[in-house]
Amino acid sequence: MITFEAVTKRYPDGTVAVDALDLEVPAGKTVVLVGPSGCGKTTTLRMTNRLVEPTEGRITIDGKDIREQNPARLRRGIGYVIQQTGLFPHRTVEDNIATVPVLNGWRRQKARDRARELLATVGLDPALARRYPYQLSGGQQQRVGVARALAADPPVLLMDEPFSAVDPVVRASLQEELLALQHDLQKTILFVTHDIEEAIKVGDLVALFRPHGKIAQFDTPERLLGDPVDDYVAGFVGFDRGIRRLSFFRSQGLSLSTGPLLSADATVAKAQAAGEPWILVTDGGKPRGWIPADSLAARKSDTPLSQLDAEPFGHSFTVGTDSLRAALDAAVLSPAGQAVGVDGNGQAVGVATFDQLRAAIQAAERAADADADGSDNSKKRAAQPGVQRAQSGAQP
Amino acid sequence: MSWSWIPQNWSLIWQLTWENAKLGVLSALYGLIISLPLGIIAARWRWFYPPTLTVVSVVYAVPSLALWIALIPAFGLTDTTVIIGLTAFSLCVILPNVVAGLRAVPAPVTQAATAMGYGPTRRLVTVELPLAAPVIIGGLRVGVVSSISLASLGQLIGVSSLSYLFIDGLQRSFPTEIIVGLVAVIVLAVLCDLVLVVVRRLLTPWQPRRQVALAQWPGLQRAGLQRSGLRRRAA
C-alpha cells in the first residue's frame, strides 16, 4: 500500500505542482491518476520513487517512510515504466529486462533466464531476446519496458503514460494485457494518463486531478461516470459518460426474446406466423442475418428462408460476459434495432429490443446505487482497500 | 618521379612513418584521456564548460611551432615536447565531442536508469559513456587525423617524423621524396581513421545500420562507405 499524507511539491519559483495531497493506493490495486497536463499527476508519481522530493508531507510504502530508505535501494523495489520506454539502446532486449536483477547482484545467466521467462509473460517471442531496442516496433518496446519493470518482482509498479505513444489498436491490446497481468500478479500500481478512457479501463480506482495538484474526485471508474461530484469532473469525463458507464454493467440481467429466431430451413409461412417485424435467420444455431417481415409477402409460402436475402446483423454480444454497452451497441448497429445475444459458442440464444435494454439498464443502475448507499457515503468509499468494480448482476 | 628511390629507402620511409604514427596516435589518446574527465564535469555542471572551452580554443589558436618552442626549455628537442603540444591541440576537437555525446544521451534513458536504481557513477560508466561512445569516437577520429598531420612537422624541432622527407627533398630539389612523404602522411591518417571506424562498429552493435544490404561484406568496405554519413553526424 502506498500512502500520501498532506504531500506538497512547491518549486523554488513558487509554482505549486502538488497541493496537500492525501491519497491511498491499496495493495494489489491499480490507481490511475488522470487530469490535464500540468495537474501534478506525473510529479505525484515521481515523488513515489524519489525522482522528485516532496516539499512537505510524508509518503509511505507499506508503512515505511520512503525518505528513510536509500534512494537506489528503494527504486530497485519499484517497477518503473514510461511513455518513451527509456530502454537502454545499447543493451539487448534480455539485458534490458535483466537490469534490476543484475543491479541486485544476480549472476548474469540467471538474470537472462528470468528475462526470457518475462518475454513470454508480456506476450513477446523469446526469439527477440538478442535483438536491440531499435529493431523492435513501438508496441514491442513498450512490452519490453513492462517486462523490465517486472523483472525483480517488485510489489509496486509506477507507470507514467506507458501506452500513450503507440497507435490505438496496439494501445488497446496493451491495456487488455495489463489487466490480465494484473489479475495474475496483483501488483500495487500507480498509473498516470491524460486519457480518461484509459483511466476507466485499467483503474480499480481513479483519482481525477484539477490543475495545480488537487484531487477533484477519487472514486471507482463506475462512480466517476455515474456520479461526478461537480461540473469539472463531469466535463472531464465527457458527454457520453452515461453510455460508457454501461461498460460496468454485465448483460446477464437482460431479458431476451426468442420469437424472431428461425432456422434457415424454416419456411416463409412459418416466418409470417411468428408475427415479428424482423426475423433472425440462424444457420446451425449461429446468427446469419435479419429478414424484414414485409419482404415475406412477395415470396411463396413454402420457400425456405435460406433462399431469401438476409441483412447483416452487425455484431452480436455474448450474454452474461459482455456488458450492456456492448449489447446496446449491437442493437444500435442492427438493421432490426435489436441486439443479437449469443452464448460462449456463438449460438444465438435470443434478441433484445431497446425496451428490454432500457429495463436492464435501469435495473442495473438501481442496483449500483443501492450498493453504493449500503457501503458508506460515496466518496470515502473509494479510499478503502478491497473496493471492487461493481459486477452488476442486476435481476429485473 | 624516380620510382627506384622508394625501394632503396624503404626502411627509412617505414621508420619515419612509424615515428609519425606514434606521435600522432599517442597525442590523440592523451587528448582523449584528458577530455573524458573534463567533459564529464562539463556535462554535469554546465557552468564549467564555457570557460574550459575558451581556454582550449585559445591554446588551439597558438601556432604549433610557437607552442613547441615555448616547451623546449622545459622538455628539450624531444618526443615529449611534440606530444604535449599536440595533446593540447587535440583537446579542442575531442572535448566538445565528449560533452556533446554525453548531453545527447536521451533524457528518458538516464531517467529510467536512475529510476531503476543506478547510482550516479554506475549510471555514467555503464549507460551514459557507452551511449556517448559514437560521438566521442567521432571526435577522436578528427583528433587522430589532425595530430598525425601536425606531428609530421616535428622534424622542424628535430623530432623524427615524415616531414624529414619534405625538408630533405626540398633541400635536394628532389620532388619524389616530397611526394612520398605527402602520400605516406595521407595513407597513415586514412588508415588510423579506418581503424577507429572499425573500433566504433565493434563497440556499438546496437546502432541502426544504414547499409544493411552490404551486410554480407563486413569489414573495411562497409566501414569505408559509412564514413561520409558519419562525418555529417559528427559535425
pLDDT tens-place string over residues B85-96:
999 999 999 999
- The whole-number pLDDT of residue A245 equals 84
CATH class of A252-358: alpha beta
How many cross-chain Cβ pairs, A to B, lie less than 8 Å apart? 68
Chain B contact residues (CB < 8 Å to A): 106, 108-109, 111-119, 127, 130-131, 204-208
- The whole-number pLDDT of residue A122 equals 92
The reply to whether A80 touches chain B by the CB within 8 Å rule is yes
Rounded mean pLDDT, B120-143 = 95
The CATH classification number of A2-247 equals: 3.40.50.300
Which of B111, B118, B207 comes nearest A51 by C-beta? B111
Split at pLDDT 50, 70, 90, the class of B152 is confident
Per the model's pLDDT, the better-predicted residue between A322 and B34 turns out to be B34
The reply to whether A11 touches chain B by the CB within 8 Å rule is no
The domain segmentation of chain A, as residue ranges, is: 2-247, 252-358
Is the CB of residue B142 less than 8 Å from the CB of residue B151? no
Interatomic CA distance for residues A215 and A236, integer angstroms = 13
Is the CB of residue A33 less than 8 Å from the CB of residue A17? no
How would you list the strands of the sheet with A278-283, edge to edge? Answer: A261-263, A278-283, A286-292
Alpha-carbon dihedral A7, A12, A13, A18, rounded to 10 degrees? -10
Cβ-defined contact of A76 to B116 (cutoff 8 Å):
yes
- The whole-number pLDDT of residue A302 equals 82
- The whole-number pLDDT of residue B144 equals 95
Is the CB of residue A184 less than 8 Å from the CB of residue A161? no
Which of B117, B127, B208 comes nearest A73 by C-beta? B117
- Structural domain contains residue B206: no
- The whole-number pLDDT of residue A374 equals 58
**Residue range of the domain that includes B176:** 5-189
B56 vs chain A: nearest CA distance in angstroms? 31
Which of B115, B130, B208 comes nearest A51 by C-beta? B115
Q: What percent of chain A has pLDDT over 70?
A: 94
With CA atoms as reference, the chain B residue closest to A93 would be B206
Strand partners, A290: A280, A311
> Is the confidence at residue A383, as pLDDT, over 90?
no
Q: Which of A90, A136, A142, A164 to mutate to test binding with chain B, by most B CBs within 10 Å of its CB?
A: A90
Cβ-defined contact of B116 to A84 (cutoff 8 Å):
no
Number of domains in chain B: 1
Average of per-residue pLDDT values in chain A = 87
Cβ-defined contact of B109 to A100 (cutoff 8 Å):
no
Is the CB of residue A115 less than 8 Å from the CB of residue A146? no
- Structural domain contains residue B204: no
Cβ-defined contact of B106 to A84 (cutoff 8 Å):
yes
> Is the confidence at residue B223, as pLDDT, over 70?
no
For the ranges A311-315, B65-69, B181-185, B211-215, the lowest mean pLDDT is seen at B211-215
- Structural domain contains residue B209: no
The CATH number covering residue B52 comes to 1.10.3720.10
Q: Which residues of A touch B135 (CB under 8 A)?
A: none
- The whole-number pLDDT of residue B78 equals 87
ipTM passes above 0.85? no
Secondary element (H or E) of residue B229: helix B220-234
Rounded mean pLDDT, A262-282 = 84
By C-alpha distance, which of A251, A259, A302, A306 is closest to A282? A306
Q: Do the strands A205-210 and A30-34 form a parallel or antiparallel pair, or are they unpaired?
A: parallel
| Cβ partners under 8 Å of residue A279, min gap 6 | A260, A262, A271, A290, A291, A293, A296, A305
